[in-house]
Chain A
Amino acid sequence: MTMRITTATAYRDALEALDRANVELARRQREVSSGRRVNVASDDPSSAAAAINEHAEGAALDSYIRATDTISSRLSVLDTVLADAIDQLTAVRVAALSGRGSAAGQAQREAAAREIGTLRESLLADFNTSFHGVQLFAGTAGATRPFARQADGSIGAYAGDTGQASVAIDRQSAVVVTMDGDALTRGPDPTHIFDSLDDLAAAIRAGDEPGIQAALEQVDRAVDRVQQAQSRVGGDMSRLQQQRTNLQALELGSAKRLSAAEEADMAASISALKQADTARQATLGALASISSKSLLDYL
């Protein structure tokens, strides 16, 4: 028996075809207007999950880049301060030379001692530098001034701690951002550089050659220590620049992967939209043609 196509079947089939064409058209329109292939998870569940993870990866890389910027500012301040400290200590040597030897008179020795006193103040200011409210040379005791002036005019012992704080610049590496003021100003010596400068000034005033010599050796050792610290800071700063470049390249890679997971290929979507539109028009035409004539028109 051949299949009867009844009126109801014909209209129902045409309506279903029209519904399908409309749904496809709406989907393609949404794709083109939002630019995204995945608008809800059911569009492509595994791409949605991949997109979530890629968004998080991009944000993590961003966070590391911000960290490198913050650390760079701090290290550049450290660099400047350490350079200034070296300048002060160099000036101390020059002043000491002018006040030493038999050719120097009392007045000259007095002038040299006073200059050393002034240079000691500048050095003190350097080692008490703070950045964004945190002491740079106090280790991890950021709120404590590492070197305080005593009642008798001398500089007290180191009041900070020896802890180190580092900040992560990627998942495996970190940069140390704290400075141990004690290691810089005293190192292996029994007293810190400020006391050495006081001793130097006193020795110059007294014309005490061995005393001057001993103090100058301490100054030399201090200069070495500060120069080492400065070169370490310089090395970290160039490492940070390189890291920033690396992170930006990784971020670009992450953005590309995200785009592949989430975004619609515009050319393909627009062409599919055109196809869906054409299909819909063809369906409408077919619907119109089946409804136009029946036998009753001819009777």
Chain B
Amino acid sequence: MSDLLRSLSLVTRALEAQRFGLEVTGQNIANVNTPGYTRREAQLAAVRPLHALDAGGGVEVTGVRAARDRLLERRLYNEIPAEQREAAVADALGVVEVALGAPGASLDASITRMFDAFARLAAEPTSPIARQEVVREADALAGDFRDMASRLTRAQHDADASIRSAVSEINGLVGRIASLNEQIGGSSAGETLALQDEQNEAVKALAGLLDVGVLPRTDGGVDLTFGNGRPLAIGANAFAVEIVASAPSGFAEITAGGRTVTAEITSGRLAGLLQVRDALIPEYQSRLDTLAFELASTVNGLHATGFDLAGAAGGALFAISASAAGAASAIAIDPAIGADPSKIAASDTGASAGNGVAKALEALRDAPVAGLSGSTFTDAWAQLVYRAGRDVQAATQEQESRQSIVRQLQALRDAVSGVSLDEEAVSMLKFQRAYEANARYFNAVNETLDVLLQTLSR
């Protein structure tokens, strides 16, 4: 009889276990769309028999397990930064590329129109209309150079603003990870599963921004470093990444612990933005500046050898900076010429209808320029556009190929940790039927006890 009573208590535990299994299944179904959730499994174990003639002790719940593959997660942390870096480059440069304009409708068209104006001047050097046109086209060209330079600078400032907001996002994530470390360290194994899921998602988001080194802690948390081993989160301590504005541009320099670490960030969104701001856009700016400087200097050089309508020696046609640096922002038509088109020096001999200098200026259209490595002015612009287009194309292609790797890893991770509704439906059925069967067994044992008690009471 004590065995029968013991059976009843075993059944109670069994019903409890099946109900627990159902609860875990319910938890999985509830979290099917939660990002970063790892599938939970109820761990049930058979209780060992007490002696040789004992059938067994029933079932007990030993815990809940999260189906997690640490190795896959680590590989994701390694692959995400590179993909995000290329994505950041492609996005930021996409705007620059649009700013550069379509072929035949941008700075190259302005250059062409100026040479057209020189051609008309050569055909009719004394015509006030032709002279007015040279003034107008030269002024428009200078304006277009300035506009293009300011667009590139604005794109740089946009990248800088994105860098600043990325750094504050990094600090926010690091703070959360550190506080999760504290919570994980202080709680028991079962409670930490949900916290670890949350922490994993935060680390993934951080890996998209910065290439972090992730070191697992013994208590289940993670330590984070970046760059040359600079600490980000050690246990519950978060180390902030700071920004210092650098002179003279005011652009953000990344510092950690007082040292400048900008150069140590090689992957992640932040690295992509830094590359755009500090390497790619300055390359385009320098090409634009060189083009403006060479154009203005060459035109000025020829113009100075000529004579205007009054027979006076020609001055400069363009006002330009002293060197190529910043030339595109500084180029403008010389105010004396802008005010008085008759000062344009078309003649090479001083005679009013001479057109030698105007012809030479027209011929510059096709002239190889030493300062542009032998390219013509239009070709130098074409090379700039090609450069920008190729940079965007390369970043986009690189991003696509890395994205497919990241997707594969995510699919593998899902295969281990993801929730499948079909599977959960089967589990639900399983635990439901088991509960019913155990309840039937309870009835059977109960009836057996009744029979026994009736027999005893007679």
Contacts and interface: CB of A to CB of B under 8 A. Distances in A.
A191 interface: no
A56 B429 CA distance: 75
A167 B421 contact: no
Contacts of B378: 52-53, 56
Interface residues of B, number: 66
A127 to B, nearest CB: 16
A284 interface: no
A140 B388 contact: no
A175 to B, nearest CB: 10
Given A42-B396, A52-B103, A53-B378, A132 B124 contact: yes
B414 to A, nearest CB: 4
B97 A165 contact: no
Nearest to A8: B418
B354 A12 contact: no
B395 to A, nearest CB: 9
B420 A4 contact: yes
Contact of A6 (B102, B365, B385, B414): B414
Interface string A93-128: 000000000000000000000000000000000000
Contacts of B429: 299
Given A41-B100, A52-B103, A141 B351 contact: yes
Question: For chain A, which range describes its interface: under 10, 10 to 19, 20 to 34, or 35 or more residues?
Answer: 35 or more
Given A7-B420, A48-B385, A296-B425, A140 B349 contact: yes
Interface stretch (B109-117, B187-195, B329-337): B109-117
Contacts of A5: 415, 420
A5 B420 CA distance: 7
A45 B386 contact: yes
Contacts, number: 196
Contacts of B349: 140, 161, 163
B421 A7 contact: yes
A260 interface: no
A294 B29 CA distance: 13
Contact of B116 (A48, A63, A142, A167): A63
A60 B365 contact: yes
Contact of A134 (B103, B353, B366): B353
A167 B121 CA distance: 10
A178 interface: yes
A90 B253 CA distance: 89
A247 to B, nearest CB: 13
B215 interface: no
Nearest to B39: A6
A16 interface: yes
Contact of B112 (A42, A45, A56): A56
A48 B103 contact: yes
A55 B103 contact: yes
A41 B384 CA distance: 10
Contacts of A53: 378-379, 382
Contacts of A41: 97, 100, 385-386, 388-390, 392
A177 B389 CA distance: 46
Contacts of A44: 389
Contacts of B27: none
A182 interface: no
A171 to B, nearest CB: 6
B33 interface: yes
A9 interface: yes
Contacts of A46: 386
B449 to A, nearest CB: 35
Given A48-B389, A134-B124, A7 B419 contact: yes
A9 B409 CA distance: 11
A12 B383 CA distance: 40
A49 B379 CA distance: 8
B393 interface: yes
A71 B123 contact: yes
Nearest to B353: A142
Nearest to B407: A16
B234 interface: no
Contact of A8 (B32, B362, B390, B392): B32
Contact of B127 (A132, A138, A143, A144): A132
A26 interface: no
A13 B385 contact: no
A239 to B, nearest CB: 16
A202 interface: no
Contacts of B276: none
Interface in A1-55: 3-9, 12-13, 16, 36, 38-46, 48-53, 55
Interface string B96-133: 01101011100011011101100110111111000000
A59 B366 CA distance: 12
Interface in B51-104: 94, 97-98, 100, 102-104
A135 B126 CA distance: 11
Contacts of B363: 168, 171
Contacts of B119: 63-64, 66-67, 168
Interface string A121-157: 0000000000011110011111110000000000000
Given A39-B102, A55-B112, A140-B353, 20 more contacts: A4-B415, A4-B418, A4-B420, A6-B414, A8-B418, A8-B419, A40-B98, A42-B390, A42-B393, A52-B103, A52-B108, A53-B378, A56-B365, A63-B119, A67-B119, A142-B351, A161-B349, A167-B123, A295-B425, A295-B426
List 5 A-B pairs, minimum CB-CB distance, nearest first.
A41-B389, A142-B353, A6-B418, A55-B104, A45-B389
23 contacts: A6-B419, A9-B415, A13-B411, A41-B97, A41-B386, A41-B389, A42-B94, A48-B382, A52-B103, A53-B382, A56-B378, A59-B116, A60-B115, A66-B119, A70-B123, A139-B351, A139-B353, A141-B352, A142-B351, A163-B354, A165-B354, A295-B421, A299-B428
